[in-house]
């Protein structure tokens, strides 16, 4: 049986797995309105074929793609931008002012990522990072709006995870496309009627006060849903926002309590892990903690690195 390449979320929004690390780790979205398409998040170069399959499945021609919109320039969100811009020559790349230069000249992104992962792992994760022509880049300021086939998308700058991050408000679905600002909630974190969520504080620009402010900004619209990059849509986000904000404060306190400790980063990992698993067990006593620990292992490491960098700036 052939599996559909898209998940229809309603409101003209479709979820596509980004083929990043493993299924269910990251996604991107197609928004379809009035015969026009916006691709929100690009995934990596390896994501492009999945997007092409989704467009073909929906019987949408390549010239329908009007906007390609990474929420920020971390490579699991923007690494495929150059490939997509080559495939969809009618599209504009929509980007935060602080991210535009990295899309036009991605050298710094490539060098810093290769320093972390090495050449072979970098190629496996991200593929080829292709520059985007400056004349095809559309920088959006805070509060700016774009029209997609008669549908208005509003862009709000949402620092805290990264300074080059925006989120996109879609009044039609009463939802935000949140990138990493509204955290991570993999499918394995669905627990009966509840869903667990954690912040993402990966290096190098985590700022707890700014992140809390960005979440407050999003919640001020009383959204009905959040379109996460990690992973897919969550409904009724008010409860999740409280859980997210409580954990950000926990992260801050863990960090400050370990500020002067030797081997600080690894101690932060252990504290984040213990705190998170205890919270999950309190919400869902029957949760399979060992499996969730494995699912979240990389995020604990990345979050601890980001917290450690934040501490070093204090």
Q: Cβ-count burial of 24 within 10 angstroms (0-12 exposed, 13-18 middle, 19+ buried)?
A: middle
Residue 79 to residues 44, 110, 126, 262, 302, Cα–Cα distance (Å):
4, 9, 6, 35, 18
More confident position, 13 or 117: 13
Domains of the chain: 7-239 (3.60.15.10), 244-313 (no CATH)
Q: What is the mean pLDDT of residues 56-68?
A: 97
Say which residues have a Cβ less than 8 Å from residue 76's Cβ, sequence separation at least 6: 18, 20, 26, 43, 44, 229
**Is the pLDDT score of 298 beyond 60?**
yes
Region of poorest pLDDT, from 12-16, 65-69, 105-109: 105-109
At 97 the pLDDT is 98
Region of poorest pLDDT, from 185-194, 228-237, 273-282: 185-194
Three-state SS string over the chain comes to CCCCCCEECCCCEEEEECCCCCCCCCEEEEEEECCEEEEECCCCHHHHHHHHHHHHHCCCCHHHEEEEECCCCCHHHHCCHHHHHHHCCCCEEEECCCCHHHHHCCHHHHHHHHHHHCHHHHHHHHCCCCCCCHHHEEECCCCCEEEECCEEEEEEECCCCCCCCEEEEECCCCEEEEECCCCECCHHHEECCEECCECCCCCCCCCHHHHHHHHHHHHCCCCCEEEECCCEEEECHHHHHHHHHHHHHHHHHHHHHCCCCCCHHHHHHHHHHHHHHHHHHHHCCCCCHHHHHHHHHHHHHHHHHHHHHHHHHC
> Phi-psi bin for 204: left (phi > 0), alpha (psi -120 to 50), beta?
alpha
What the block records as the tokens of 254 is 């863990």
Model confidence, pTM: 0.96
- Tokens 């960098």 locate to 309
**Is the pLDDT score of 3 beyond 90?**
no
Whether the upstream peptide bond of residue 231 has omega within 30° of 0, thus cis, is yes
At 117 the pLDDT is 83
Band (pLDDT 50/70/90 cuts) for residue 58 is: very high
């Amino acid at each position: 049986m052939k599996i559909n390449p898209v998940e229809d979320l309603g409101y003209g929004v479709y979820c596509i797995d980004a083929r990043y690390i493993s299924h269910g780790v990251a996604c991107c979205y197609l928004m379809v309105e009035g015969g026009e398409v916006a691709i929100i998040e690009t995934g990596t170069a390896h994501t492009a074929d999945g997007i092409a399959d989704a467009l073909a499945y929906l019987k949408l021609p390549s010239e329908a793609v009007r906007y390609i919109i990474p929420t920020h320039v971390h490579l699991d969100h923007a690494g495929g931008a150059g490939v997509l811009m080559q495939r969809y020559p009618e599209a504009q790349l929509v980007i935060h002012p602080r991210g535009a230069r990295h899309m036009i000249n991605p050298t710094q992104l490539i060098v810093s990522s290769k320093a972390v992962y090495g050449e072979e792992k970098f190629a496996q994760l991200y593929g080829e990072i292709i520059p985007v022509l400056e004349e095809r880049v559309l920088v959006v300021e805070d509060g700016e709006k774009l029209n997609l086939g008669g549908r208005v998308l509003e862009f709000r700058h949402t620092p805290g995870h990264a300074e080059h991050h925006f989120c996109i408000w879609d009044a039609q679905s009463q939802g935000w496309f949140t990138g990493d600002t509204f955290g991570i909630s993999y499918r394995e974190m669905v627990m009966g009627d509840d869903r667990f969520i954690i912040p993402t504080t990966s290096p190098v620009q985590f700022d707890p006060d700014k992140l809390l402010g960005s979440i407050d900004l999003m919640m001020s619209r009383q959204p009905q849903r959040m379109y996460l990059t990690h992973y897919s849509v969550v409904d009724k986000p008010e409860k999740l926002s409280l859980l997210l904000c409580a954990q950000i404060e926990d992260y801050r306190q863990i960090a400050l309590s370990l500020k002067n400790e030797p081997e600080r980063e690894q101690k932060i990992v252990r504290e984040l892990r213990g705190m998170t698993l205890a919270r999950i067990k309190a919400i869902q006593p029957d949760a399979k903690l060992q499996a969730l620990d494995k699912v979240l292992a990389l995020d604990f490491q990345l979050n601890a690195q980001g917290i450690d960098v934040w501490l070093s700036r204090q």
